[in-house]
Structure formats: C-alpha cells, structure tokens
Amino acid sequence: MRHALGVLGVLAAGVLLVVSATMNWRFGISLGRTELDGQIYGAASAAADCLKALIPFFLFAAIRSKMWSQAAAAAILGVVVTAYSLTSSLGHAALNRFDTAGNRAAEAQVYQDHRADLKRAQDQLSWIPQHRPAATVQGEIEAMKSQRAWTSTKGCTDATRPASRTFCQSFHGLTAEMASGQQAQELESRIREIQGKLEQTDQMTVMTEADPQATVLAKITGFETEQVQMAMTMFIALLLEVGSIFGMYVAFSQWRLYDREAPSAPAMAPMASTAAAAVAAPEEEVVAIRKPRSGANDNRSLPAQPQKLLVPETDVQRFYKESVDSQDGHTVSATSLYEAYCVWCEERQKEPLALPTFGREIAEFGIQKVKKKDGVRYVGIALKSDLDLEEDKKLTALRAEAA
C-alpha cells in the first residue's frame, strides 16, 4: 500500500512538474529576439524549473549532514529559480485566463449584435406591403412594355389621355410591387445569413458569463470580479509552483530515502568457541614465528593475495559490536537499547536513526524479543556498560567481605 501511494504521488507530482516546466519553456521562448535565442531561453527556463524540484532534496540532505554552506547555497538557488518560475507561471496563467474571458465576452457581444441585426431585418420585412414574387411582376412589366400604349406614352412620360393615364398607373403599380419584391428577397437573404451565423455560435458560451468562476466567487465574497480574477490567477501559479517544488520530495518520502538498510549481521559465536579461539591464537603466533624466513637477498616475490572487498558497516552494526554483548539469561528493554544508541551517536557526532528504523535494523540481527508489562525486551543480550556496572558491584562486595 505504501509503494502504491508513492507511485501515485510521483505520477501526480510529475504531471505538475511537466506543466510548470512547459509554462517556463513557453515563457522563455517569448523572450528570444530570434528563434534560436527563444529556444535557448526556453531550454534554460525548463532546466531551471526541473532544478527547482531537486532543491528540497539537496537542501534537506545538506541540513541532515550539517553542511551549512551547501544548505545556504541550495536555499539561495531555490529562491532564485522559484521566483523566476513564479513570474512565468503568473504571466502564462494571466494571459490564458484573461484571454479566455475576453474571447467569451467578444463572442457574447457578436452574438448580441447578430440578434439585433436579425430583429431589425425581420421588422423591415414585416413593413413591406403585400406583393407577388418579383419574377411574376417582372413578366407583367415586360408584357406592358410590349403594348402600344407604352409607345404612345413614350414610356409613361407623356400620359395626357385617360386611357394612357390608366395604363401608366398600372405600370407604376407593378414597378412599386417589383421593388417591394426585390427588397423582400434581399431581406430574406440577409435573415438567412444572420441565422446561419447564430447557429454556428456556441449557445453555452454566449449565454454564460465571460468568467463564471470569478463571477460566482465575486458574488459570494463581495469583491470585484477583477480582484477575484487576479486572486485566482495567483492561486493557480502558486499551486503549480508549490506542487512542482515539494511534490516529488513528499512523494518519495514513502520510500524513506534517507533510511539506511543494514545488512544481516554475522551470527554470534557461542562463548565456548570464542574461548577456544582465544587459546588457539597464541599457538598460531608461535608457529608463525618458527616459520623459516626468506633470506635478506631473496628477491623472489610472493604471489599477490586477492583483496577481499568488505561491505561498510552501518552505524547500528558498529554500535552493536562496540556496546552490546551476548549474555544468556539477560534481557534489555528496547527503550534502554535505543537510548544507549543515541548516546553512542552523540559521542561520535552522528545523527541517530528514528526509533522505528533502529528497531527494524536490530531485528535483522536475529535477536529474540518478547513483550512484557514494561514494554518490548530483547532476550540473550546485555549492554556492556551494564555488565561493567555489575562487575564493579561484585568487586566491591568481595572487597567488603575480605575486609
């Protein structure tokens, strides 16, 4: 479960880091005078943003190791790259938010203008008198022009007789009806064009506010919409910056990066074998002394023995070898053992591990432990300091009896 949470955390932090680096890259490109300069600035900006995510690892590692100069350098570098990244994030977020709100407002205004044009065209169409289709009227006008009265009246410019006046009145009536039909055709074409534009417009966009989120928050808080928009822009930029800075560090904490895994300690030899080895040691030294030595002028070289690489001991292993001894019938409480380890680390100016981590490394030594009323106790071991104290008490008792 811990590893699954760590993987999910790393993925989420990675997304924030990629988004923040992309924003920095685009901001850097906009600073270049030429395309090459823009690519250089963009790469530098993205690299600075990635370095920003590594700063917490460097900073806390330096503090943990008490390397104050490196910690100060990491802190200064973190402030610089974070400030630069924050400015680019603010610019990018503001540009997108205000640009989106402006486009929505412009679309809404265009939609309202089209609605007004449509209403005006429909009103004008309703004012036009009743008329027949323009093609029909045009056919009648051509037929009247072919009559004899059209010639005698000189195209209805000289109508002196009642018959000619009646003819010309009919002709002018058809002309007016023709004009009405042509105007109606133009208005109908205009109406169809406006309706097509309105159908292409997103109804949800034009019927909502330009920035619905800022509008709702402004109504709730009582602030102006522009102030809320500015606050939301800053909040988005801070989200990206804080998430990209500490996201990886927090996610990787699930794997305990600074906990050291202690290898299995060698099995403790029994007391009898230890004593036998101590007795056999002088005999081996004597045999070694009696071996014939090579002459002073013997230049023969012995074959080189391969060097065996040893795994470095951890602090817990060193503490165990220096401060703990195997003793049958003895027990040590987990609290006392950890306090002795802390004292050992303090004397050597080392940073002690946390109690759970220390307990896990001690458990890898294969020491039996039992739960008592006073807590967990380790069986079969004793602190050398406690053994020395017992020896001092015994010697004091023997001296008192002898006196």
Domain spans of the chain, in order of start: 1-105+222-254, 108-207, 315-401
Q: Mind giving me the DSSP string for 63-83? A: HHTT-HHHHHHHHHHHHHHHH
- Cα 52 from Cα 246, distance rounded (Å): 9
Distance of alpha carbon 336 from alpha carbon 362, whole angstroms: 13
pLDDT digits (tens, 9 = 90+) for 310-339: 556 788 889 998 999 888 888 989 889 999
Query: What are the φ and ψ backbone dihedral angles of 130, each rounded to 5 degrees?
Result: -60, 140
315-401, what's its fold? Arc Repressor Mutant, subunit A (1.10.10)
Q: Where are the alpha helices (H) located in 65-161, listed in sequence order?
A: 68-127, 134-145, 148-152
Do residues 249 and 235 lie in contact, with contact meaning Cβ atoms separated by under 8 Å?
no
pLDDT in tens, the chain (403 residues): 666 777 787 888 788 888 888 887 887 887 788 888 888 988 888 888 888 888 888 888 888 888 899 889 989 988 888 888 887 777 777 767 666 766 777 777 788 888 899 899 999 888 988 888 888 888 988 888 888 888 888 888 887 888 888 889 888 888 998 898 888 889 999 999 988 888 887 666 555 566 777 777 878 888 887 788 778 777 777 777 787 777 777 777 666 544 444 444 444 444 444 444 444 444 444 333 344 444 444 444 445 444 444 556 788 889 998 999 888 888 989 889 999 999 999 998 888 898 888 888 888 888 888 888 878 899 989 988 887 777 766 767 666 666 6
pLDDT in tens, 330-369: 898 988 999 999 999 999 888 889 888 888 888 888 888 8
CA atoms within 13 Å, Cβ hemisphere of 35: 0
Q: For tokens 């089209």, name the residue.
A: 114
